[in-house]
Amino acid sequence: MGLFNKKTTIYSPAKGFVKSIERVNDQMFAAKALGDGFAVEPAAELIVSPIEGTVVSVFPTKHAISLKNKQGLEVLLHIGIDTVELDGAGFTIKVSEGDQVTEETALAEVDFSLLASKGKETDVMVIFTNLEKKTVVFDEGQVVAGQAIGTIK
């Protein structure tokens, strides 16, 4: 039984505008150094899960959460650019390691106005870190949190 034998639906983690990861203003993410994915320019503070799965870890600085689904797909949800420097300021985490999540599960609330006031870009990146030969297929445009936006093929 191989990785991703079942179709994997991906969801927007936030209300806002979905765009290609290549359009993020951070070379590491834009070059797909950590993996392929997409980003959302957020228009609301609520962050939900981009997949159905399990919380693997919550970074101590609260700016990133890693997830994994039943098929073994690994996802890094990274909130903002260079937000590790804020040491958790502006982030309220709603989940813990081991929690089961769906596209309706609140992972975090983020004070994006605080991030912006500290000079941090607010893009929410969803990076699939172990795609192998699979690709992320999604539509760019306006979305709401939890909206199905694409699949892993």
Domains and CATH numbers, the chain: 9-152 (2.70.70.10)
Query: Which residue in the block uniquely carries the two structure tokens 């600085």?
Result: 61
pLDDT for the residue 13: 98
pLDDT digits (tens, 9 = 90+) for 44-98: 999 999 999 999 999 999 999 999 999 899 999 999 999 999 999 999 999 999 9
Tell me the pLDDT band of 130, cut-offs 50, 70 and 90.
Answer: very high
Active-site pick, 18, 78, 126, 136: 78
Tokens of 41: 């320019």
Mark out the alpha helices in the chain (DSSP H runs). Answer: 27-30, 112-117
User: DSSP for 106-132?
Assistant: EEEEE-HHHHHHTT----EEEEETT-T
Q: Please confirm, yes or no, whether 78 is among the known catalytic residues.
A: yes
pLDDT for the residue 4: 45
Minimal CA–CA distance to 26: which of 73, 66, 105, 79?
Answer: 79
pLDDT for the residue 1: 39
pLDDT digits (tens, 9 = 90+) for 9-50: 999 999 999 999 999 999 999 999 999 999 999 999 999 999
pTM (predicted TM-score): 0.94
Mean pLDDT of 95-120: 97
Tell me the pLDDT band of 132, cut-offs 50, 70 and 90.
Answer: confident
pLDDT for the residue 5: 54
